[in-house]
Amino acid sequence: MKISKEIKTGVIALAAIGLLIAGVNFLKGNSFFGGDDYYYAYFPNSGGIAPASSVILNGVGIGKILEVENVMSKSPDKKVRIKFSIQNEKIKISKGSSIEIGPLDLFSKGLILTLNPDISKGFYKRKDSMMGSVAVDMFTQVKAYADPVTARLQGMMEKVDKLVASFSAFWDTTATTELQGSMSELKIAINRFSNVASQVDELITEEKQKFGNIMSNVESISTNLKRSNDEIGHILGNAKKLTDDLVTSDFKNVIGDAHHVIKKLNSVMDVVEKGEGTLGKLVKDDVLFNELVKSNKDLQNLVIDLQIHPERYIHFSLIGRKNKGLELNPGEEKKLHELLDTTINNK
């Protein structure tokens, strides 16, 4: 059977039209032959995303963005509505899943889908809507980091400009003159310091000899001490021997004798305290004391009477005349004279 050219031309035209329709659907983000599930998501802004961008799940593309349009909504989270398709029939979006606009690489953006593993709430149906978010891209992050740094740099540059202006205002003819004067004074100070250093050097040279003499004297003293070392050792040996002799002395007997003497002295004091013996009676007996006082008084009266009336006690004759009185032999007269002399001397 022979096919005519007209039939062949018609078949080719229909195939071309079908391919054209399939290509248009593919460019719009649908499958090549269409029939994909599609959903809606609301965002506060588009985030720079465009139709035909990919929908990514776990890093794998599963669909395309079909439409990006503004919507008249009072809610700030529903300014932009995006229609996207899911080309894999096996993938179902569970409720509670999140979707956001984010960068896929350095140059493109897409929808990033994260499924909720909890499927108890069910799944979104075809044409359902969900809420999405816009991820902060790298350029926004860099801008957010760079803006404060830029502000600080601008403030620092303003301060540097003010500093340069102040320095320029200072660096005029007067400041230059003052700087030259300061340099001259600094040069004079350096010269004075050099002179002082020279004087210190001379002083050190002069005192060096004195220091040498001092060290020589110290060495001489140390030599004399070394020579006297034997004598010092001998003196210390004698001192040690003396201490040894003192330690080995019979201190025990001496202490015993002293104890015995103290014991006897205590016995005597006890006897005196009790009024026994001559010393005890003398201390304790008032009668003996009174008698001694009375005897002393009588003796004084006797001496006074003897001085006034010696003729009563001494017998002597003058030109054959005899005075009456107590006759004493030569020995008694001598004792009486000694008694008188002693009494007179004590007065």
By percentage, how much of the chain surpasses pLDDT 70?
A: 71
How far apart are alpha carbons 283 and 292 in whole angstroms? 12
Contact (Cβ atoms closer than 8 angstroms) between residue 97 and residue 65: no
Q: Of the ranges 91-100, 172-181, 233-242, which one carries the lowest mean pLDDT score?
A: 172-181
How far apart are alpha carbons 105 and 97 in whole angstroms? 23
Domain ranges in the chain?
A: 1-35, 36-135, 138-171, 172-249, 285-346
100: confidence class by pLDDT, cuts 50, 70, 90: very high
Q: Which among 66, 120, 125 has a CA at the least distance from the CA of 96?
A: 120
Q: Which among 109, 103, 111 has a CA at the least distance from the CA of 56?
A: 111
Q: What is the pLDDT of residues 311-339, one digit of tens each?
A: 666 655 544 445 455 555 666 666 677 77
Q: What is the pLDDT of residues 114-142, one digit of tens each?
A: 999 998 989 999 889 999 999 876 666 66
Q: What is the pLDDT of residues 179-238, one digit of tens each?
A: 677 777 878 888 887 787 777 777 777 777 777 777 777 777 777 777 777 777 777 777
List CB contacts of 159: < 8 A, sequence separation 6 or more: none
- The pairing of strands 109-114 and 54-57 is parallel
DSSP 200-256: HHHHHHHHHHHHHHHHHHHHHHHHHHHHTHHHHHHHHHHHHHHHHHHHHS-HHHHHH
Query: Tell me, what's the pLDDT at 225?
Result: 74
Query: Tell me, what's the pLDDT at 143?
Result: 67
Q: What is the pLDDT of residues 21-30, one digit of tens each?
A: 666 666 655 5
| The two three-digit tokens of residue 112, written as one number | 């990033």
Query: Tell me, what's the pLDDT at 171?
Result: 57
